[in-house]
Structure 1
Amino acid sequence: MDHAAVLALYDRDLREGAVPDGPGARVERTASVVRQVGSAHDWNGVLWSAPDIADPDGVIAEQIARFAAAGHGFEWELYGHDRPADLGRRLRAAGFTPGPEETLMVGETAGPALDAEPPAGVRLRTVTEATGVDLLVEVHERVFGTDGSRLRQRLLDRLTAAPDTIVAVVALDGDEPVSAGRLEFVPGTGFAGLWGGGTVEGRRGQGLYRALVALRARLAAERGCRYLQVDATSRSRPILERLGFTPLTTTTPYSYDHPEHYDHPEP
């Protein structure tokens, strides 16, 4: 994999050329930034900023004013290769709170072990309706320790309005949900994203996460996607590297006003 070329493609297609990730959201473009604006339960934030901004502090102030007019907080997704180099310091000075640093990793859909299966007695279920969403949200809340009501509404909205852009899966041991994750397609690009993958305490180390990645890779390959992208924490990065994913850069969510707008990566 040509790392520089794939990162440039990622920036062009998923950041500068971003499309809304939900039916209630819209993407706005200015000379300085690309941002998504939606309702309070949508992800709201800055996806890309021009590398040659003449007045970074002024642009930051403009985004604060724009989302204040929308009536809710937002996130500025800052990547390790973004410019100016001190943009993170400027965001903190303007009142943003940085979240944990993650690693942007990309793998080809043919790379992960596509034959990885869950342990005996565990079945993987594709989520298509409210009952399945509730199972996924239950895993989310147990893994991340956060309220999943906003995620639940986002998933229901997207499964209703744009079901071809998302696949959600849950691993069930009997009737108990023990692991879950999402696969989000980006129309018009060769990328699909892995989001929110996690396994509940006491069931980790049993191959559940690996099986979820493999299933989502198979589904992405069937849809013609070449690349899987994931914002990985330090816990999932070693697993993903063993599956053939490559780190390209870092990414840090900077939240303004409402940190709960942060969307959980693969833990």
Structure 2
Amino acid sequence: MDTSTLLAAYDQQLRTDAETPSAAAVERLGPLRLVTFAGGRGFVTYQDLAGASAETIARWVAVAVAFYRADPDIVRVEWKTRGHDHAPGLHEALLENGFEPDETESVMIGAAGALDVDAALPSGVSLRRVTEEPDIRAMSAMQDEVFGSPVSDGNAEAILRRMARDDGMELWVAEHDEVVVSAGRLEPVPDTDFAGIWGGATREEWRGRGIYRAVTAARARAALSLGKTLIHSDSTEYSRPILERYGLVRVSTTTPYRWRAEHLDGAVAD
């Protein structure tokens, strides 16, 4: 499959309700989907912007912000942009309404079979799928540390809520002496050819030893066993070259813009 075919599959199969399976509520604003998640998180996405002008897009952004401001439970919102969209004036409108751009990542897609490789683990490192709460909390804490964030019970609780819904998500870890050194999750997307690989993280001292490769291969095998033939991932510049070596290609980019609600005293919510 060439890049244009993969990108078309991404737009048609993933930029739908399949993108937000754990949404608590979804409102429509033109082509936009204004999503609300548990825990006070909003999320804005869409399949395309329907050829809208800069003026129309600016109005949508302002209305979306007003929608989330009206909900006292919302503390943060992500607006997910894609580099291949025709979106005149969107960047400027987001900045004017209090959004800040985060790091741009690569949208990577490829055959699941390309990731199903034999990857030898270093001595003393083992790989397994985890389902129990203590293991999930240990995995979440490691990911928080690797991503440079404070260890958060909230992140672990969000994963546990997902696991309780039994929506197909799988969690995989690599361990050494019962300490999690690498991890990632697999998210099969119902009614599509896709499964997503997310949250890949490896402790710095264990990088470059094939562990991330092994965690990725395990997730690819699990995806194939579920009948998923395509893998997608939003990848940092660290993980992108690894996925490219296995045949995944960059079909676009994605940049999240983030907005945080302000309390009445002007302080920004955590």
TM-score w.r.t. structure 2 length? 0.89
- Give the superposed CA RMSD: 2.0
Partners of 1:46 and 1:30 lie apart in 2 by 10
Partner of 1:191: 194
Displacement of 1:112 after TM fit? 1.5
Shift of 1:70: 2.8
Per the alignment, residue 33 of structure 1 pairs with 32
Q: Which residue of 2 aligns with 1:65?
A: 66
Aligned partners of 1:18, 1:61: CA distance in 2, in Å? 26
Partner Cα distance (1:200, 1:107) in 2: 26
- Distance in 1 between the 2:117 and 2:245 partners? 13
- Quick one: distance in 2 between partners of 1:39 and 1:17? 16
Q: Give the equivalent residue in structure 1 for 2:251.
A: 248
Question: 2:181 is matched with which residue: 159, 178, 202?
Answer: 178
Structure 1 window deviating more from structure 2 (4-13 vs 25-34): it is: 25-34
Q: How do 1:47-126 residues align onto structure 2 when only pairs under 5 Å count?
A: 47-48=45-46, 49-54=48-53, 55-71=56-72, 72=74, 73-126=76-129
| 1:58 partner amino acid | R
Partner residue, 2:42: 44
| Secondary structure in 1 matching 2:113 | coil
Query: What is the total number of aligned residue pairs between the two structures?
Result: 257
TM-score in terms of structure 1 length: 0.89
* Aligned 8 A contact 2:109 2:231 in 1: yes
Q: Distance in 2 between matches of 1:5 and 1:70?
A: 40
CA distance in 1, matches of 2:206, 2:240: 18
Residue in 1 aligned with 2:157?
153
SS of the aligned residue for 1:8 comes to helix
Alignment partner of 1:100: what SS?
Answer: coil
The equivalent of 2:266 in structure 1 is: none
State the alpha-carbon separation in 2 of the partners of residues 21 and 117 from structure 1. Answer: 34
* Gap runs ≥5 in structure 2: 262-268
Q: CA deviation at 1:26?
A: 3.0
> CA, structure 1 residues 256+15, in 2 after alignment: closer, same or farther (shift >3 Å)?
same
Contact 1:181 1:212 in 2 (8 A): yes
For 2:254 and 2:191, locate their aligned partners in 1 and report how far apart those are by CA, in whole Å.
23
Deviations 1:100-145 (A, max 9, x none): 0100000111111422242221111212121111121121122012
Select between 2-11 and 151-160 the one with higher mean Cα deviation. Answer: 2-11
Q: CA deviation at 1:9?
A: 1.9
Q: Is the 8 A contact 2:29 2:60 kept in 1?
A: no
1:165 Cα offset (Å): 1.9
CA distance in 1, matches of 2:3, 2:43: 26
Shift of residue 64 of structure 1?
0.5
* Percent identity (aligned): 36
